Structure 1
Amino acid sequence: MKLTLKTLMGAAMLLAGTAAAHAQTTLKWAHVYEATEPFHTESVWAAEEIAKRTEGRYKIDVFPASQLGKENDLNQGLKMGTVDIIISGSSFQAREFPRIGVTYYPYIFRDPSHLIAYTKSDIYKTLTAGYEEKTGNHITATTYYGTRHTTTSDRQIKVCKDMEGLKIRVPDVPAYLAMPRACGANTTPIAFAEVYLALQNGTVEAQENPLTAIDAKKFYEVQKNISLTGHIVDHLNTVVSKSVWQGLSDADKQIFTEVMMEAAERSTKIVEEREAKLADNFRAKGLNVAEVDKADFEKNVLEKIPFEDFGYEKADWEAIRAVQ
């Protein structure tokens, strides 16, 4: 009877161990971008890859197109536990740790390759660590989102003063507001999902976004001009909530990081390839796609928009500018 009891207890422990090994944790990964965009398709790939590499211990459902809320809601959701992983711009993380928002200061990056070099630099480690220390949330990867340009209904933009009085939709984020306000535009915050209608009905007469977003959201249907202001080399961070990150083993942290970084690299490559073709595609659609005097825009921003107004530090700006 003792032998039988020991055997039964051993079997129970084995079954419990097996069940624990195969226990599955379901996570929610959310963003505001369309299901056709690489930020979604590569997130889906990453979710499937994480499931494979953890032998099914993690099931990640990806929710695109603001299904779980607008970008501000998603950042709040990391705290509230309504979402576990998000894709979001550093400008939103800057609400918790202002210094990281300097990466959205206009013209800080020369081009996409400069941005990617920054993500491998010491200043990147410093800023992301500062955000994690403040919130507990962990940035696993950074993706190139695209270089932001300005579209208008009728007005053509060549130099900064051409934007004076322009009614333009800009996200309600300090760094995004810097260039338009330096040039005298009237900025209006409108949710990304509502921009098309606002342009169509004349609530605003302009907006700014990368060419890929202009294409995905079909803004070209209600705008005649694209001015290649290139004021922000935009990027998105993949952020894992504090509760999830702290609950991962070191091995799983490595898996999440490696997969999410690979997904970011895949997305970046797709975005760069698409951008290379889009200017000509828009011209073929009959839009006026024009270069601008970027030096004039940059000069006005530096003269009129102090770093300190946003809680940024000049030393961070200088460190990023120095990255090769």
Structure 2
Amino acid sequence: MKFKLPMLLGATAAILVSAFTAQAETALKWAHVYETSEPFHTESVWAAEEIGKRTEGRYKIDVFPASQLGKEADLNQGLKLGTVDIIISGSSFAAREYAPIGVTYYPYTFRDPAHLIAYTKSDVFKHLAKGYEDASGNHITAVTYYGTRQTTSNRPIGKCSDMQGLKMRVPDVPAYLAMPRACGANTTPIAFAEVYLALQNGTVEAQENPLTTIEAKKFFEVQKHIVLTGHIVDHLNTLVSKTVWSQLSDADKQIFTEVMQEAAERATKIIEEREKKLVSTFKEKGIDVTEVDKGDFEKTVVEKVALEDLGYKKEDWDAIRAVK
């Protein structure tokens, strides 16, 4: 019987270690609506694994892509309900909690991606991010360049007025709607996951998204024209729920922030490189890619859509425009 005691003690110790490990590990859900091929997913997976490493396994983060845990509105709501802990989502959704942060979606606010990234390091960004956190409790840890939004259509478009009467899918967000409606399009809100089918069956004849999204979601397969309207230089926020953020130690907050910002930088670089190549790629596929006079579109938007009518503050917009 003597040989059984060490075995028993060893088994007991193993059970205790296993129980301690299970207790020490915090499982978190990170969700988004993007495809597994997109950098918003691949870099989220990298970040989830990296946080696990840097916290010595105290956090296990599973990433759920492609609307597996709900559409974007559901994911934002999920931060409150506790069904998700971390999400990637646009400021257009954050603006539902704190309207002023959506000012970045007013058409032609940013000159280019470099201007956007400079904004994320500015005082006006810190001010708007704090306003969102005060209103929602959720914390913005990082910002990723999503891409510059362009228009695809089955109708040729050379100027703003050519969009008159165009059946166009646009997210049901005031700033996204500003340019199409100012140009006379008939806008329809269709869930992101359903856009391809809607274009294919003719429910709508146009949509707007960055070139990288047009490629990833294969919208070019069901559209004849890509029109480089460049109306919004778009971005995504990495958001941690109020519940999770409030429970993190200062050291862990720093780790989460550093890793998520590194992931955002990595994804931003990938998007910028892809965008530079995609115009020629689409032309090679036989898609008509058209340059337009952006000044014509911007002038029409400014004349027909007031910043204040969208819940934005002109001083915020002016401050963003002044960022170098």
- TM-score higher than 0.5: yes
2:87 counterpart letter in structure 1: I
Secondary structure of the residue aligned to 1:274 is helix
Q: Secondary structure at the match of 2:24?
A: coil
How far off is 1:228 after superposition?
A: 0.1
The AA in structure 1 aligned to 2:110 is F
Q: Which amino acid aligns with 1:259?
A: V
Residues 90-101 of structure 1: pairs in structure 2 closer than 5 A: 90-101=91-102
The equivalent of 1:131 in structure 2 is: 132
1:141-187 per-residue CA deviation (whole Å, 9 max, x = no partner) reads 0000000000001x111111010100000011111000001101000
Q: CA deviation at 1:310?
A: 1.2
Shift of 1:22: 6.8
CA distance in 2, matches of 1:20, 1:118: 42
> What secondary structure sits across from 1:107 in the alignment?
coil
Give the fraction of aligned pairs with identical amino acids, expressed as a percent.
Answer: 78
Mean alpha-carbon deviation: is it higher for 28-37 or for 303-312?
A: 303-312
Instruction: Normalising by structure 2, report the TM-score.
Output: 0.94
Name the counterpart of 1:70. Answer: 71
Distance, in Å, in 2 between the alignment partners of 1:169 and 1:50 is 37
Tell me how far 1:321 sits from its aligned partner. 0.2
Question: How far did 1:115 drift?
Answer: 0.3
Quote the residue 2:107 is aligned against. 106
> Which residue in the other structure is 2:54 paired with?
53
Question: 1:255 & 1:236 partners in 2: Cα distance?
Answer: 20
Tell me, what secondary structure is at the counterpart of 2:57? coil
Contact map agreement 1:88 1:237 (CA 8 A) in 2: yes
The 1-side partners of 2:240 and 2:101 are apart by 17
Q: TM-score, normalised by structure 1?
A: 0.94
2:182 aligned residue? 182
Corresponding residue number in structure 2 for 1:312: 312
The 3-state SS of whatever aligns with 1:282 is helix
- Residue 89 of structure 1 corresponds to 90
> Does the Cα contact within 8 Å between 1:149 and 1:210 map onto a contact in 2?
yes
Match of 1:132, SS state, is helix
For residue 120 of structure 1, what is the aligned residue in structure 2? 121
Q: CA deviation at 1:21?
A: 10
Instruction: State the AA in 1 paired with 2:277.
Output: K
State the superposition RMSD in angstroms.
1.4
How far the C-alpha of 1:20 sits from its partner, in A, is 7.5
Is the Cα–Cα contact under 8 Å of residues 22 and 56 in structure 1 kept in the other structure?
no
Alignment partners' CA distance in 2, 1:221 and 1:214: 9
Match of 2:5 in 1: none
Query: 5+ unaligned residues in a row in structure 2: which ranges?
Result: 1-12
Secondary structure at 2:149 match in 1: strand
